[in-house]
Amino acid sequence: MIVVMNHAANDEQIYKVVERLKREGYNIHLSQGVERTIIGAVGENKGSGCIAVEAMEGVERVIPILRPYKLAGKDYKPEKTIIRVNNLEIGSEKIQVMAGPCAVENRDQLIETAKIVKKAGATILRGGAFKPRTSPYSFQGLEEEGLKILAEAREITGMPIVTEVMDTKSVELVAEYADILQIGARNMQNFILLKEVANTCKPILLKRGPSSTVEEWILAAEYIMAGGNDKVILCERGIRTFETATRNTLDLSSVPLLKSLTHLPVIVDPSHGTGKWSLVTPMSKAAVACGADGLIIEVHPYPDEALSDGPQSLTGDNFQKLMVETFAVAKAVGRTLGA
């Protein structure tokens, strides 16, 4: 970190800051200018781990030079993280497509959708059993019954399942059924939940919070990793901006940005990212073109009858077209789709 002392700071105040930083294990580089003194503190904090330099007398501001996250950063691990789910790789040159309905509504709907998406080339089945709905009067999900239907669909199709866990009290239950645990956008900074899912050692699909910066998102991943689980998949799903023509603003620039900052796999959810089924295929192609390691797509056999997110759900035919067109883009950027 760089500590900028204010212009009125006296020698004693400077000395105290320097000594405190030394005690924490930093190497000190002092620059005493005419106007003010700047202290460069280099290295790792090997002391108490907590030092509020800003609170010390004579300090004007503190500029961190190291990124605030470690385990998730490329400095810590330059090689890409590849997460294995059964025989699938997430984060390698293979692009995995997760697809299925927003919510598990009943057995027939899920099994039919699972067969459709598998036939079109999806490798992982999505479906919510616990639904984070904006209105308490909207369909809230089938809960454990939904998890059982998902497990049956896995049995029939062989596809691993990704499903959301909304609170700490259901982590154990959801982890019994799911191959990948999804942390929804609204829960990205639910730190207690992040610590709890870290204990499951299952891969975690971490959605970006609707109002989160990329750094806050990486720090949320860091929570899971610091808890001993390094299997984190980041999922860009759009952020809230002034734009209302789309449900969210799908920030695809985060994909190459994250690739430069972290070693974690990054996938894109163009369904929630746009809220409009007609935009899902173009944005899927764009996501693959800019380096995404996977997609998560909402598909419903009858979107007009869906209990949630019908307007952004693709029919089986449209999903099939998405796969064909996205495959061409994947090939153009030297990657393959699927297993």
Query: Which residues of the shown chain bind ligand PEP in the complex (CB under 6 A)?
Result: 102, 128, 132, 184-186, 207, 237, 269, 272
Binding-site partner at residue 127 among ligand PEP, Mn ion, none, CB < 5 to 8 Å by type:
none
CB 309 to ligand PEP: min, Å: 7
CB 214 to Mn ion: min, Å: 23
| Contact by Cβ (8 Å): 28, 21 | yes
Binding-site partner at residue 237 among Mn ion, ligand PEP, none, CB < 5 to 8 Å by type:
ligand PEP
CB 184 to ligand PEP: min, Å: 3
CA 189/CA 141 separation, integer angstroms = 22
Binding-site partner at residue 132 among Mn ion, ligand PEP, none, CB < 5 to 8 Å by type:
ligand PEP
Indicate the residue whose CB is closest to ligand PEP.
Answer: 184
Binding-site partner at residue 184 among ligand PEP, Mn ion, none, CB < 5 to 8 Å by type:
ligand PEP
Reported as type and span, the H/E element at residue 42 is strand 37-42
CA 231/CA 32 separation, integer angstroms = 46
Q: List residues near Mn ion by CB under 5 A.
A: 102, 309
Our CB check for ligand PEP shows the closer of 85 and 102 to be 102
CB 269 to Mn ion: min, Å: 9
Our CB check for ligand PEP shows the closer of 37 and 96 to be 96
Our CB check for Mn ion shows the closer of 182 and 229 to be 182
Reduced to 3 states (helix: H, G, I; strand: E, B; else coil), residue 256 is helix
Cross-strand partners of 337: 95
Binding-site partner at residue 285 among ligand PEP, Mn ion, none, CB < 5 to 8 Å by type:
none
Q: Are strands 294-298 and 266-268 parallel, antiparallel or unpaired?
A: parallel
| Contact by Cβ (8 Å): 185, 210 | yes
CB 70 to Mn ion: min, Å: 33
Binding-site partner at residue 148 among Mn ion, ligand PEP, none, CB < 5 to 8 Å by type:
none
Reported as type and span, the H/E element at residue 192 is helix 191-198
Our CB check for ligand PEP shows the closer of 116 and 162 to be 162
Q: Which of 46, 39, 49 is nearest to 13 (CA)?
A: 39
CB 30 to ligand PEP: min, Å: 48
CB 238 to ligand PEP: min, Å: 8
The length of the chain, given as a count of residues: 339
Our CB check for Mn ion shows the closer of 73 and 275 to be 275
Contacts by residues 174-177 (CB-CB < 8 Å, ≥ 24 positions apart): 174/129, 174/130, 174/147, 175/200, 175/202, 176/147, 177/147, 177/148, 177/150, 177/151
Other Cβ atoms within 10 Å of 303 Cβ, number: 19
Our CB check for ligand PEP shows the closer of 25 and 132 to be 132
Binding-site partner at residue 185 among ligand PEP, Mn ion, none, CB < 5 to 8 Å by type:
ligand PEP
CA 232/CA 235 separation, integer angstroms = 10
